[in-house]
């Protein structure tokens, strides 16, 4: 492909930070009107490379060409002016404003000599833009009342409104239901049909194979290959990413569940705004069982887990652990009794960011043996413990003296998972345990969860990744709007059926362990 054929051509892009080479002479060529996926392990340099293209970072070395012309982007405004738009994983919309107001924000048509915003013209332009690309959005809907999928379309329309011909999507399916993912792929098809170019960052191999024309793989900051999806497989892509063969299928051995470890009975929980978040939910987790909870983020899973782990007082109902009512017990008490917890927010709930890994490795157990004696912390033992986690869970850089805030998100996650799994727990409550980690580490974490299951521990797994929660779970509950829609057999239910349940609808036919009613005990 010649330079003039390409919408984007990055030549020998190098980006250095103090002590780190994030991109090392990376070449990337994206054909005009194509969909190009960017794959790589956590910390491989994918987002850094796209931040260079979008003007958030300036390259240390290398050349950026857009539609054949060389550019130096000193800010995102320069990239926008060159026709590049970036839709970040965390949307940048104003909740109390309408979709139309968000799309035009900062670029609204004016009236009365520029003294006022022309709201009718704004709405008209947004409607015309939506119809041109076949987007189903209500311009008058408040963003805070819109679904995640609609908010994402609003972000894409915002970029198009500003004249983008090249769209960068950062992990675009992270919080979407399967139906919303299919809708997004339809949107991408419509965009490329009309000549737009799409680059998307994803760690999901299946989505890259399904949606992209070409895939570029980064590893340790270097480009290790660009392949056409017509000429490769998921297994080959995984091996490029990790540098070794990766087993993509979860091999779950048969285990006979034992006694109940966790019991949740008629639990109702309110959120931080004192709004009902969990409504009369009941389920149990047994020894030697992974009990999964699927659902779009924000449907009560976080509040449910906080009530189970002792971080939030329920409004009503009970939590029993090993036959004991622990509803009113503290988080520390539950840790002492053998309840480990991988939190949803690793930085707010999992780590003290200013502490080093030695200190973070004993959080929750700093008062107990073997890390403390007579009220004094045994620092040599604590260091040995942290170094063992770093080694066993491949935390990078392999330095127990490193502060938690100096690690990438994926390596922070691996350290937390290691700390919690090594507590010798009776029950592990794991919320999004592989969020932000690379595919090789995902495989390792999945294997460790199944090891715990095989050892007779109970696992409560909450994940927005359907392949993960389906592959690991023995029983699977689906939550929507604070309710358990049903508990299903993960080996028999389809992703389409799960998607409907996640959206609050019952499929006409689906395999159910429990009747589809809130609060039914499994």
CATH number for position 60: 3.40.50.300
Do 393 and 466 fall into the same domain? no
Q: Are 496 and 503 in contact (CB under 8 A)?
A: no
List Cα–Cα distances, 338 to 157, 249, 318, 344, 365, in angstroms.
49, 30, 18, 19, 11
pTM of the model: 0.70
Last residue of a domain, one of 191, 221, 242: 242
pLDDT value, residue 521: 39
Last residue of a domain, one of 225, 242, 259: 242
| Residue 445 forms part of a structural domain | no
Is the pLDDT reported for residue 522 higher than 70?
A: no
Structure confidence at residue 2 as a pLDDT band (50, 70, 90):
very low
Do 48 and 110 fall into the same domain? yes
Angle CA(457)–CA(409)–CA(359) in degrees, nearest 5?
Answer: 70
Do 218 and 115 fall into the same domain? yes
Do 237 and 315 fall into the same domain? no
Distance from chain centroid for Cα 108: 33
Do 466 and 332 fall into the same domain? yes
Q: What is the tens place of the pLDDT at every residue in 30-83?
A: 999 999 999 887 678 898 999 999 999 999 999 999 999 999 999 999 999 999
Cα Rg of the chain, angstroms? 24
Do 327 and 201 fall into the same domain? no
pLDDT value, residue 4: 52
| Residue 392 forms part of a structural domain | yes
Describe the chain by its helix, strand, coil percentages, rounded to 5. 35, 25, 40
Structure confidence at residue 359 as a pLDDT band (50, 70, 90):
very high
Going by C-alpha positions, the residue among 188, 223, 274 that lies closest to residue 13 is 223
Task: Please give the helix or strand (H or E) that residue 346 lies within, else none.
Answer: none
Decide which of 485 and 298 is more confident.
485
Q: Among 136-145, 190-199, 221-230, where is mean pLDDT lowest?
A: 136-145
| Residue 65 forms part of a structural domain | yes
pLDDT value, residue 68: 93
* Enclosing domain of residue 228: 3-242
C-alpha 47/C-alpha 39 separation (Å) is 10
| Residue 444 forms part of a structural domain | no
Q: What is the tens place of the pLDDT at every residue in 215-226?
A: 999 988 999 999
| Residue 97 forms part of a structural domain | yes
Last residue of a domain, one of 195, 227, 242: 242
Do 496 and 359 fall into the same domain? no
Do 295 and 393 fall into the same domain? no
Do 43 and 118 fall into the same domain? yes
Q: What is the tens place of the pLDDT at every residue in 89-116?
A: 777 888 899 999 988 887 777 777 667 7
> How many domains in the chain?
3
Write the CB contacts of 309 (distance below 8 Å, at least 6 apart in sequence): 331, 334, 339, 341, 429
Do 269 and 376 fall into the same domain? no
Do 430 and 396 fall into the same domain? no
What is the crossing angle of helices 379-392 and 409-421, to 10°? 120
Going by C-alpha positions, the residue among 279, 297, 308, 302 that lies closest to residue 483 is 279
C-alpha 205/C-alpha 151 separation (Å) is 24
């Amino acid at each position: 492909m010649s330079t003039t054929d390409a919408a984007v051509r990055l030549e020998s892009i190098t980006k250095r930070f103090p002590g780190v080479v994030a991109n090392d002479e990376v070449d990337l060529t994206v054909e005009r009107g194509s969909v190009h996926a960017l794959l790589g392990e956590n910390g491989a340099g994918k987002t850094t490379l796209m931040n260079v293209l979008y003007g958030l970072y300036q390259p240390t070395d290398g050349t950026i060409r857009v539609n054949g012309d060389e550019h130096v982007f000193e800010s995102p405004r320069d990239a926008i002016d060159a026709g590049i738009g970036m839709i970040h994983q965390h949307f940048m919309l104003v909740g109390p404003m309408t979709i139309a107001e968000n799309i035009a924000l900062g670029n609204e048509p004016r009236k009365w000599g520029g003294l006022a915003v022309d709201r009718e013209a704004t709405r008209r332009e947004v409607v015309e833009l939506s119809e041109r690309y076949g987007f189903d959005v209500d311009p008058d809907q408040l963003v805070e009342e819109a679904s995640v999928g609609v908010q994402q379309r609003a972000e894409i329309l915002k970029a198009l409104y500003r004249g983008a011909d090249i769209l960068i999507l950062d992990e675009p399916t992270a919080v979407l239901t399967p139906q919303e993912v299919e809708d997004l792929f339809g949107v991408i098809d419509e965009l490329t049909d009309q000549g737009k170019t799409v680059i998307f960052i994803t760690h999901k191999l299946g989505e890259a194979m399904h949606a992209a024309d070409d895939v570029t793989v980064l590893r340790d900051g270097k480009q290790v290959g660009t392949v056409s999806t017509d000429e490769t497989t998921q297994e080959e892509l995984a091996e490029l990413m990790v540098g070794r063969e990766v087993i993509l299928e979860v091999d779950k051995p048969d285990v006979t569940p034992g006694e109940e470890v966790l019991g949740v009975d008629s639990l109702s929980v309110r959120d931080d705004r004192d709004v009902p978040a969990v409504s009369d939910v009941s389920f149990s987790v047994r020894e030697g069982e992974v009990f999964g909870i699927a659902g779009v983020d924000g449907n009560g899973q976080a509040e449910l887990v906080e009530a189970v782990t002792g971080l939030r007082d329920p409004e009503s109902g009970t939590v029993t652990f090993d036959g004991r009512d622990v509803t009113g017990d503290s988080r520390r008490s539950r840790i002492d009794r053998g309840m480990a917890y991988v939190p949803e927010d690793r930085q707010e709930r999992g780590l003290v960011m200013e502490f080093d890994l030695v200190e973070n490795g004993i959080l929750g157990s700093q008062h107990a043996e073997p890390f403390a004696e007579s009220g004094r912390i045994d620092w040599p033992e604590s260091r040995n413990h942290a170094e063992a986690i770093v080694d066993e869970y491949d935390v990078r850089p392999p330095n127990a003296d490193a502060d938690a805030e100096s690690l990438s998100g994926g390596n922070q996650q691996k350290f937390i998972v290691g700390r919690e799994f090594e507590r010798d727990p009776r029950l592990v409550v794991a919320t999004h345990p592989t969020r932000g980690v690379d595919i090789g580490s995902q495989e390792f974490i999945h294997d460790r969860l199944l090891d715990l299951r095989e050892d007779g521990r109970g696992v409560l797994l909450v994940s927005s990744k359907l392949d993960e929660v389906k592959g690991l779970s023995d029983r699977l509950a689906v939550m929507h709007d604070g309710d358990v829609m049903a508990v299903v057999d993960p080996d028999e239910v389809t992703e389409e059926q799960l998607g409907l349940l996640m959206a609050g609808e019952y499929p006409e036919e689906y395999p159910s362990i429990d009747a589809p009613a809130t609060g039914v005990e499994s």
